[in-house]
Amino acid sequence: MPLELNNENFESTLSKDLVLVDFWAPWCGPCRMIAPVVEEIANDNPDVAVAKLNVDDYPELAGKYGVMSIPTLIFFKGGVVADTSIGAVSKNVIQNKINALKA
């Protein structure tokens, strides 16, 4: 189950080794489409911190990372942006990016 991010837990979550953050909004159709995929990724990769950030509730955090379109997936390694994916993408695309960052 992805962790719901907010101003209080965002930075501490990024301190984990490998983190996937799904920047989304409830009204976004493509966001709802990939939500089950993000959940599967979280279940399949217990060593990766998978989290979601509602851009409507925390626009300043979305802005800090240049999120202009949603869904945007940002992959952090060691607290630094390591990769991104914009739009509804397949599970394979997400898993391949995670696998590359684990290598």
CA distance 78 to 80: 6
31 belongs to the catalytic site: yes
Place of tokens 């984990």: 16
Choose, from 5, 14, 19, 31, the residue flagged as catalytic.
31
CA distance 26 to 14: 23
Choose, from 5, 19, 21, 28, the residue flagged as catalytic.
28
CA distance 53 to 72: 10
User: Would you name the residues annotated as active-site residues?
Assistant: 28, 31
